[in-house]
Amino acid sequence: MDSKLKVAIVGSTGYGGVELIRFLQHHPQVEIVSVISSSISGTPISEGFPHLTDIMVQDLDGVVVEEIAARADLVFTATPSGVSTELVPQLLEAGLKVVDLSGDFRLKDGALYEQWYKKPAAPASFLEQAVYGLAEVYGDRAADVPFISNPGCYPTATLLGLIPALKAGWIDHRSIIIDAKSGVSGAGRGASLTTHFAEINENFKPYKVNKHQHIPEIEQVLGDVAGEPVTVTFTTQLVPMTRGIMSTMYATMNGSYTDQDLVELYREYYKGRPFVRVRNAGIWPATKEVTGSNYCDIGFAADARTNRVTIISVIDNVVKGAAGQAIQNMNLMMGWEENLGLGLTPVYP
Ligand SMILES: NC(=O)C1=CN([C@@H]2O[C@H](COP(=O)(O)OP(=O)(O)OC[C@H]3O[C@@H](n4cnc5c(N)ncnc54)[C@H](OP(=O)(O)O)[C@@H]3O)[C@@H](O)[C@H]2O)C=CC1
Ligand SMILES: CC(=O)N[C@@H](CCC(=O)OP(=O)(O)O)C(=O)O
CATH code, 5-129 = 3.40.50.720
Alpha-carbon distances of 304 from 135, 281, 299, rounded to whole Å: 32, 15, 16
Q: Which residues line ligand 1 (CB under 6 A)?
A: 10-11, 13-17, 37-40, 63, 78-81, 83, 101-103, 152-153, 185-186, 188-190, 317-318, 321-322
Do residues 103 and 78 make contact, with C-beta atoms less than 8 angstroms apart? no
Show the CA angle centred on residue 237, arms to residues 317 and 313, nearest 5°: 50
Confidence of residue 48 (pLDDT cuts 50, 70, 90): confident
Across the range 116-120, mean pLDDT stands at 98
Distance CA 231, CA 225 (A): 13
Range with lowest mean pLDDT among 47-61, 155-169, 212-226, 238-252: 47-61
- State the alpha helices, DSSP H only, in 228-343: 259-269, 324-334
Which of left, alpha, beta for 117 (phi over 0: left; psi -120 to 50: alpha)? Answer: alpha
Ligand nearest to the CA of 45: 1
* Segment 39-50 mean pLDDT: 79
Domains 5-129 and 154-317 in one fold: no
pLDDT at 2: 60
Note the pLDDT of residue 55: 62
On whether the CB atoms of residues 104 and 82 are closer than 8 A, the answer is yes
300 near 278, Cβ under 8 Å?
Answer: no
Over residues 79-105, the mean pLDDT reads 97
CATH label, 154-317, candidates 3.30.360.10, 3.30.1490.190, 3.30.230.10, 2.40.30.10: 3.30.360.10
* Pocket of ligand 2 contains residue 102 by CB under 6 Å: yes
Q: How is the chain split into domains, by residue range?
A: 5-129, 154-317
Average pLDDT of the residues in 12-27: 95
In ligand 2, the atom with minimum distance to the C-alpha of 117 is 13
Q: Active site includes 296?
A: no
The pTM assigned to this predicted structure is: 0.97
Tell me the backbone φ, ψ of residue 20, rounded to 5 degrees: -60, -45
**pLDDT (mean) for 203-221:** 97
Q: Model confidence over 215-257: pLDDT tens digits?
A: 999 999 999 999 999 999 999 999 999 999 999 999 999 999 9
**Ligand 2 within 6 A of 236 CB?**
yes
Q: Which atom of ligand 2 is nearest to the CA of 103?
A: 14
Query: What is the per-residue pLDDT for 1?
Result: 43
Annotated catalytic residue, options 153, 230, 276, 314: 153
Other residues' Cβ atoms within 10 Å of the Cβ of residue 139 = 17
Mutational pocket test of ligand 2: of 104, 115, 154, 208, the residue with most ligand atoms within 8 Å of the beta carbon: 154
